[in-house]
Structure 1
Amino acid sequence: MFVKRVLCAACGTEGTASDMFDAEGQALCQRCVEEAGRGKRVERMIDSTICARCGRDEGSRDLPRLGRLPFCEDCTRAVRNVPYPNWLRYAFLGLLMVAALAFVRNQRFFSAYAQLVRAGRDLKTGRFDQAVSKMESAARMIPESADMAAEVNFLKAIQFVQQDRSADAVPLLRAYVAAYPGDANAKKVLLQAEIGAAFESADYEAFLEKSLVLAGQEPNDPRASAGVASAYACKYAVKGEEEFARQARERLEAARKLAPPADPDFEEYSQRIEYRLATREIISRTEYHRRFPNGWRPEGSR
């Protein structure tokens, strides 16, 4: 089995990547990190040939990354096929896992780490507001960390999307993607936010255009296919052209075939699309839930 090995920049000792530390781009062993890493931002190195989710060893081949973590192809698909918004939560947890490895022997860094751990717990249970607050607190403790500030903005962007404020999320995500251009997962989050912003601004042409792009990138994602149905349903609601309704229903049926059985997230989304087709009324997700806390069904099907 191939194990990625790295030389310590201070003493020349060779060790596995997972046993070494990264001190601002300098590889250091456990013995040298105390002295040579003093005053630097230090993180445990990650072996880019081993999947962070399943532990699969890819030999000498570096794996693509989601967030900052290496994932094999199977795990990449598994993460991306988790229904929205859960897959976003998973993506950010990947960033958080790496951030939690950082350590510096200084009280404020330990305090920041403690806040990170608490934020991670909130994130796992969907308490985004609390997680954002704790992440912001951690970022204030270590203002020199550009990575931490970026991660806070990433989480805030997710929060905005969930609050039907995608337009506020877009600039934060564009800045994140500019800082980490290799993060394919962040690019998908950005595209999702741009789709949401187009819907919120009633730009249904852009809504359809960007939804088609996402569906093309993720042909096996039921949510992406349903997004195209949602866009066509908006165009039908505005213009009343039956062709748009037909395409919306076709896309929604195709999405149903891709969705797992009895998926509550997908069922809720499909109900909102069906409501739009039945009533030609376009309402936000928040308004839909206010009106129909138990979901919506056409008259006669209850």
Structure 2
Amino acid sequence: MLQGKCQQCGATGALNTFKGVDEHLLCPRCTQQSVEQAKAQRQSLEVVNILDPTICYKCQMDNGSQELPLVGGLPFCSRCREALYERPFPQWLRLSLIGLLALLAVALVHGKPFFKAGKDLVISERLINARRYREAIPGLKATLAVAPDCEKCALLLAKADLLTGDALNAQKVLVSHREGRFEKSELADEVQTIFRRASQAFNKSSQAGKLYKDKKWDEAARLMREVVRLYPESTLLAEELDTAESAAAFDRKDYDSFLRIAEHAFQVHPDSTDHAGMVASALACKYAVTGDPAFRARSEEMLARARQLAASSPADLAREKEFEERTRYRLDSREIIDPDEYNRRFHPEKKGP
């Protein structure tokens, strides 16, 4: 046990009976006097207990002059310190912990789809920022399936669809979210701008279709070039441009351009029966005007390729049969006539190509 000496009266005694009064060590009697005097003078006084580091805080064991280790700022003997560290948790606390763990397990099971959706959203957003739009679409669709009210998910999916040329699906995504209503945001403004551009392109495409129907091939091709410049992401519109330009080239008897356009279209769509047939038709035109047997041989090869591509589809087979018949007539007669004239001569029951 340590001894203390009063800094006011000089009295000595056990340190733990002393008090700290305004940073002065005082005995109990002087402490009482100082407190009473402060009250009378209405002054504040700071009084703190003095701990003897040689006496155990719990069992009061006296360790002589040797200080005990501190735990939480308090001295404890080895036995009390061991009991302090090995104190068992109360039963109610253990039961509460078990209950919380059970609730956590249930929450994890039921929340697993949402955790995955959150992960998919983060990954998809990174892909979009890297302009890998097509790769981002599956993750965004999966996220929307779990969280259909997620506005950011809908906008990101619409953006990815628009920038991969699928404006129709983008429109479905946007309309399905609160009937197309979105909070004002930078992302919403960006998607709206892209969608407006795509809408303008499809409106012009519709106008070009009317020109095509009226056999105004050059005008239709010029308008479709504007369409593709406006919305270059759409492969569908690019195909319509190829169709319009090939028809215009055929009409003005520019068979070199007709062949170039047809070959480019088939290169882009190597599994298309119609594009293979277009190449065969263009090669037949070149044979008809030049008589070069190499063009005829290549046309025959492309007709065979078109038949092969159409084999699995009755609809494709029907179309292939029609254009092969016209192409073979061109190869055999070396006469170039359009589908309408061909049908007028050989299939008067048909009204169109």
TM range (shorter): 0.5 to 0.7
Quote the sequence identity (%).
31
* Structure 2 equivalent of residue 181 of structure 1: 232
The structural deviation recorded for 1:48 is 4.5
**2:164 match:** 65
- Structure 2 distance, partners of 1:99, 1:152, is 19
Alignment match, 2:128 = none
Q: Which of 208, 214, 238 is the equivalent residue of 2:259? A: 208
Task: Provide Cα deviations, 1:83-120, integer angstroms capped at 9, x if missing partner.
Answer: xxxxxxxxxxx688689779799xxxxxxxxxxxxxxx
Deviation at 1:185, TM superposition (A): 2.5
Task: Output the CA distance in 1 between the equivalents of 2:170 and 2:216.
Answer: 23
> Match for residue 224 of structure 1?
275
- The 5-angstrom pairing of residues 36-51 of structure 1 reads 45=155, 47-48=157-158
**2:232 aligned counterpart, secondary structure:** coil
Q: Please tell me whether residue 251 in structure 1 is matched to residue 302 in structure 2.
A: yes
Change over 3 Å in CA distance of 1:62–1:284 after alignment to 2: closer
Render the CA deviation track for 1:169-191: whole Å, top value 9, x for unaligned.
Answer: 11221111111122233222212
> What is aligned with 1:279?
333
- Paired AA for residue 166 in structure 1: W
Describe the shift of the 1:95–1:172 C-alpha distance in structure 2 as closer, same or farther (beyond 3 A).
Answer: farther
Shift of 1:294: 6.2
Q: Which string of whole-angstrom CA distances, capped at 9 and with x for unpartnered residues, describes residues 11-38 of structure 1?
A: xxxx9586467xxxxx7x9xxxxxxxxx
Q: Structure 1 counterpart of 2:318, which letter?
A: P
Does the 8 A contact of 1:226 with 1:251 survive in 2?
yes
SS of 2:157's equivalent in the other structure is coil
For 1:291, the equivalent position in structure 2 comes to 345
1:81-96 equivalent positions in 2, closer than 5 A: none
Contact 1:164 1:286 in 2 (8 A): no
User: Shift of residue 256 of structure 1?
Assistant: 0.9
Instruction: Report the equivalent of 2:241.
Output: 190
2:323 to 269, 274, 285: 269
C-alpha root-mean-square deviation of aligned residues, in Å? 3.8
* Counterpart residue number, 1:56: none
Q: Is the contact made by 1:4 and 1:47 (CA closer than 8 Å) also made in structure 2? A: no
Distance 1:48 1:278 in 2: 51
Normalized against structure 2, the TM-score is what? 0.46
Shift of 1:198: 1.1
User: Secondary structure of the equivalent of 2:240?
Assistant: helix
Q: Distance in 2 between matches of 1:295 and 1:170?
A: 30
CA distance 1:163–1:271, shift in 2 (3 Å): farther
Would the alpha carbon gap of residues 268 and 62 (structure 1) be closer, same or farther in structure 2, given more than 3 Å must change? Answer: closer
CA deviation vs aligned residue, 1:46-66 (integer Å, no higher than 9, x gap)? 7359xxxxxxxxxxx979633
How far 1:231 moved relative to its partner? 0.8
For residues 207 and 62 of structure 1, do their structure 2 counterparts lie closer, same or farther at Cα, with a shift above 3 Å needed? closer
Q: Kindly indicate whether residue 291 of structure 2 is the aligned counterpart of residue 240 of structure 1.
A: yes
**Does residue 161 of structure 1 match 2:215?**
no
CA distance in 2, matches of 1:156, 1:218: 25
1:70-149 alignment runs, 5 A limit: 148-149=199-200
More helix by share: 2
Gaps of 5+ in 2: 1-115, 123-142, 182-195
Mapped contact 1:194–1:210 kept (Cα < 8 A): yes
- Residue 163 of structure 1 deviates from its aligned partner by 4.5
CA distance in 1, matches of 2:204, 2:163: 23
Distance between the aligned counterparts of 1:177 and 1:213, measured in 2? 16
| In 2, Cα distance between equivalents of 1:217 and 1:171 | 21
| Structure 1 residue runs without a partner (length 5+) | 6-14, 22-26, 30-43, 50-60, 70-93, 106-144, 297-302
Partner of residue 87, structure 2 = none
Q: Give the structure with higher Rg (CA).
A: 2
- Give the secondary structure class of the aligned counterpart of 2:284: helix
